[in-house]
Structure 1
């Protein structure tokens, strides 16, 4: 990643296979001219012994392996182009059972062309992408009160001014991300904005902070939802962790089904929660109006800390957890229906407006009703008690709160895999995260998020208050870098209203930076050090991954010659340069060995056999077999007194390669393939072990000749 604007982003199956550069294509053309002289006659005449286009594919004979490639699986479009229909289940019984179970849970695979149809409209995108942001009003105000109450009940009067500052921060950050979506209409979270404007290292810093935020979002949301359940049903408290893990599994399955399926699954709980909160605010304000909006005094609480600037900043940073998930839309612009950026901006406006109204309404009720912290009851539960008593509406508020908190992790499930996609596209994460699964979602990223969130949930015993201190650092690190990156963007571009945009982004950067520094400093010993330590580890890991991919790219890319000469090619990259010798390791002369020997000889290259004997008696026994067979090939016997078969063979092959590095050794291994999985432990797996042992050795090709046993 460099300081240039990012290219158009498409979440498509072909993203895992980037095209060759213009220079590489030019070199490839020159290499192809050299190849033409080394091709055999059958290639020039296209006289292949079978038809690769399957135009005359015979009806498969009945049998165990006839289902591997049935005729109906392929459709011929042109002589050199086949289209594969939905693949059949694997041949093995256990593989077929797992595949059928996966189809029941996740649904059938989607065609690659359906990636456009999987886009979502605004009314579905709102609950899918806002569940984390909107649900945070259930614990953000409570986190702020938890800090203020340390200075006694009198400190709670600062709730309103601190909340007003938080509303200003919400507006500034919301407007900033509206500008980000317009400036980067193809999807751009903090990682891309910071990387494009501040450099790759700061982009990685923002990306690492977001990774921590998304993982903690999943863990905290589930833990908060379990807490809401326990407020109503205290008997379930000992099972908090198992309940949380069950919810993560449900979220995993729901998101693996695809974006549209996840939207349909999670839309109703989000809208129900929004309705419950507004119902609570209306009832609470109506009760306050009947008493003339008289403020009720909070319960007397002894002060344990002095009221000072640091305590106020801590309360501000804690209350800012109500903003987690505000950047979800900017990361997910490509999943919207066209016009993507316009629909994304509209959805973001709805989200931020709902957040401000819900947050401000709940703060007003907290102030008017004199609500403070209680050990076994959440603030939202107290407000619902005051408004509705113990009736059905109280149950409705608690049920929807628990449900939205449990499902709020869905925002992380939407954005964490996309963040990994962007990082993998730039070479900073494994390329497996570029891959779209059967249902056109980034399955590997979804699975990784589930595993990481489950590990944190278990490590912290599902306690929300233990997780909250870890929460704000990562997200506000990303927010701050994104705002600063947008300032750099406007200074460079100087588009319409760029001065006004700089003021908005500058305000967001300043307030986000205050939250970041305060959270990192005041919550360091409470757990924020975990995130501060994890961010540089993620950055270093990403840089090592990028260094590896750069080395692979340099090794695999066709290289031009010096001063416009012929392309540089190593030995073995042209057909005429490849010198063969086949080696057939043989344990005993049975049908498997004879097939391997026959296959090796049929290649028309020099062949010899090698046998490893543990002692002289086995040496004589095998020589006797070889003589009876006719000794048609050269045989080399190695005596291994320590009975080390695979290490001996691998060292022997390495020694052969050292003698003539220009010769390609093809190791032909006989291999017995059994039908049932429980038969596999009954056989040696020397072929597989030898393949792993010689894989690191250069100039050695390993192939196997299978013999299938039906019984």
Structure 2
């Protein structure tokens, strides 16, 4: 996957998401090269003699602030350091101010970098936020298991209890394993980091690919299932299910863009409501069953569609395992907890797994006691609630709570995928813009990418939950399996006290997760799982291409010379060329279409620099070229002029070709193209002018040694 590269932040063991992650420190080797290069610089005193005094107090704007005084832009903290004020961060155009006002209305006021610790979540908020996906899956997990068993006839439904027992063992094994993962890797990243460190980069990328697909599908499936629950109760809304689902994704995105703490406070209540409603249902159901002596009601006779076989049992086991999606959420999100992060994360994970087992086992037993079977017109949870609460408001409360938690189950993905992308971006496998913390200290780019991807999938599948479910389990159990195997290797390599017991727990989890993975991939392949089976290697390939690009950038731009392999500090004679002033030879090129104030200001600017300069004029015919040269002579011919005749009236390409040819014939020359630019008052007015600078920049961006810039001239008001 290319050379590993140097990652100072990873080596330093940065425990949290840092606003400085986009600007990592230099390595000791790079600092050594930088010191030697600086010693070779030769600049005159004129370069260090500034025409202004940058230490002269605060810097104020031309606008008016409080008490009629000019608004303060920067506050000086000390020699050579300023702190930006909100005034300096505001846009200075009407359009920019309108966009900024809308952002503040939707997202709130920006938070300072120092506020990142205050944005973390306490355990009672982290539990519903990170458990919403896991707990909501019990609304459909037991039913998914019974839907497969009933294919072998109603007689096969008795196998639901031993299969559920095996699933409880899997839940305990995987949950215990992730507790150990949080302890061994207290900085987060879960399956990706475990698999990368213990099994190698490709295994880590496979886990990341599986989780990425799972999180995107979590949003699509959860939102579409929640909307389906609402449209089932209100059929008149069915034609608008897709726009409604997109609106829900938009609300989730906006809530999470407002920051971790705000999103947690807003989205915690529905999860607690669902938890209370289902626990109340289970308690009332067992009281009712105890009154009847726990007698088992025989299910209605259903003819077998296929014979009972090991494959059917495995399919039921794999389908029921969808109740575990989201169990890895805590290990990915350790940094969102208040200190001590890993200890609080383990506590919440234990709560989550315990609640999951109680809900899953309780609902499965009650469904078995009451002889309920899957129906096309009503979910098993709805049947059980209607049977347990035939009168009163409790049935409606359970249905509303279920719909809400299914809608908000997507919030787990909004908490975890941006953090996974953060760690991958730190390692160079996805764009580094995923390291950026937004106005509210949220990983905004990851949130937006997740929302867009989920919306595309939801629209592509028409918001149909049953079409998305077959894609759902493969990716997450791929991550589970790799994480468990990685933890086995981790304990084998470190051999801390009790490592054999820990490795055995992870081994059991790995074996059971692998069974679910293979069964789901094989049995659901033709139903849609083939998409995930093909998408995982495609994502791994894409991650590798991104990493190779960043490695190439590091080789080309790093302070050490490009070698293609890691090695010690290079000798001085191999240091990068043309990084000291005395090695740079300048020539300024000034394209001039007509002699007006914009052109004359640009020529005056270039002339003030005291470096060689050449003006270029492209003419459509010889007569115009002669006329322009006469005008140039009238001006005084202060700068050499080259006229280019373009019979086909092409402007940009001849200028680019001339600059490129000049640079090619003189490789030691640095060309700076300074374009006169008229700055208009309104965006629509740009359409009335040639955008010469942008077009020339695009034409020359692939040519080395050529700089394109502009000299702006503002229209007089």
Question: Shorter-chain TM-score category?
Answer: over 0.9
What does 1:588-599 align with in structure 2 at a 5 Å threshold?
588-599=594-605
Query: What's the counterpart of residue 66 of structure 1?
Result: none
Question: 1:248-286: per-residue Cα shift (whole Å, max 9, x none)?
Answer: 000000000000001101111010000000111112222
Residues paired across the two proteins, number: 701
Question: 1:409-435: per-residue Cα shift (whole Å, max 9, x none)?
Answer: 000000000000111111111100011
Query: What's the counterpart of residue 586 of structure 2?
Result: 580
Query: What's the counterpart of residue 193 of structure 1?
Result: 194
Give 3-state SS (helix, strand or coil) of 1:429's partner: coil
Structure 1 gap ranges (5+): 64-68
* Separation of aligned partners in 2, 1:613 and 1:277: 80
Q: CA deviation at 1:300?
A: 2.7
Instruction: Tell me if structure 1 keeps the 8 A contact 2:590–2:615.
Output: yes
Query: What's the counterpart of residue 542 of structure 1?
Result: 543
Instruction: Tell me if structure 1 keeps the 8 A contact 2:189–2:420.
Output: no
Taking only aligned residues, the RMSD between alpha carbons, in angstroms, comes to 2.0
* More displaced 10-residue stretch of structure 1: 687-696 or 211-220: 687-696
Equivalent of residue 708 in structure 2, options 697, 702, 705: 702
Instruction: Tell me if structure 1 keeps the 8 A contact 2:587–2:670.
Output: yes
Question: 1:307-332: per-residue Cα shift (whole Å, max 9, x none)?
Answer: 11101111110110000010111111
Q: CA deviation at 1:159?
A: 1.0
| TM-score scaled by length of structure 1 | 0.96
Give 3-state SS (helix, strand or coil) of 2:301's partner: coil
Instruction: Tell me if structure 1 keeps the 8 A contact 2:560–2:569.
Output: no
Structure 2 gap ranges (5+): 563-567
Q: CA deviation at 1:677?
A: 1.5
* Separation of aligned partners in 1, 2:571 and 2:283: 79
* Separation of aligned partners in 1, 2:436 and 2:337: 20
* Separation of aligned partners in 2, 1:463 and 1:685: 47
* Separation of aligned partners in 2, 1:563 and 1:479: 40
Query: What's the counterpart of residue 33 of structure 2?
Result: 27
Equivalent of residue 650 in structure 2, options 644, 649, 665: 644
* Separation of aligned partners in 2, 1:355 and 1:617: 85
| TM-score scaled by length of structure 2 | 0.95
Query: What's the counterpart of residue 363 of structure 1?
Result: 364
* Separation of aligned partners in 1, 2:85 and 2:478: 46
What does 1:493-642 align with in structure 2 at a 5 Å threshold?
493-559=494-560, 565-642=571-648
Instruction: Tell me if structure 2 keeps the 8 A contact 1:172–1:508.
Output: yes
Q: CA deviation at 1:61?
A: 4.1
Given the alignment of the two structures, is residue 486 of structure 1 paired with residue 479 of structure 2, yes or no? no
Given the alignment of the two structures, is residue 84 of structure 1 paired with residue 84 of structure 2, yes or no? yes
Give 3-state SS (helix, strand or coil) of 1:14's partner: coil
Q: CA deviation at 1:678?
A: 1.8
Question: 1:321-361: per-residue Cα shift (whole Å, max 9, x none)?
Answer: 00001011111111111111111000000000000001111
CA 597–172 in structure 1, closer or farther in 2 if over 3 Å, else same: same
Q: CA deviation at 1:105?
A: 0.7
Equivalent of residue 50 in structure 1, options 27, 49, 52: 52
* Separation of aligned partners in 1, 2:119 and 2:161: 43
Q: CA deviation at 1:235?
A: 2.4
Given the alignment of the two structures, is residue 284 of structure 1 paired with residue 290 of structure 2, yes or no? no
* Separation of aligned partners in 2, 1:3 and 1:519: 39
Query: What's the counterpart of residue 245 of structure 1?
Result: 246
Instruction: Tell me if structure 1 keeps the 8 A contact 2:491–2:499.
Output: yes
Query: What's the counterpart of residue 40 of structure 1?
Result: 44
CA 560–628 in structure 1, closer or farther in 2 if over 3 Å, else same: closer
What does 1:138-157 align with in structure 2 at a 5 Å threshold?
138-157=139-158
What does 1:62-101 align with in structure 2 at a 5 Å threshold?
72-86=72-86, 87-101=88-102
Instruction: Tell me if structure 1 keeps the 8 A contact 2:477–2:517.
Output: yes
What does 1:108-507 align with in structure 2 at a 5 Å threshold?
108-389=109-390, 391-507=392-508
Q: CA deviation at 1:614?
A: 1.6
Q: CA deviation at 1:73?
A: 2.0
* Separation of aligned partners in 1, 2:98 and 2:679: 20
Query: What's the counterpart of residue 11 of structure 1?
Result: 17
Q: CA deviation at 1:236?
A: 2.0
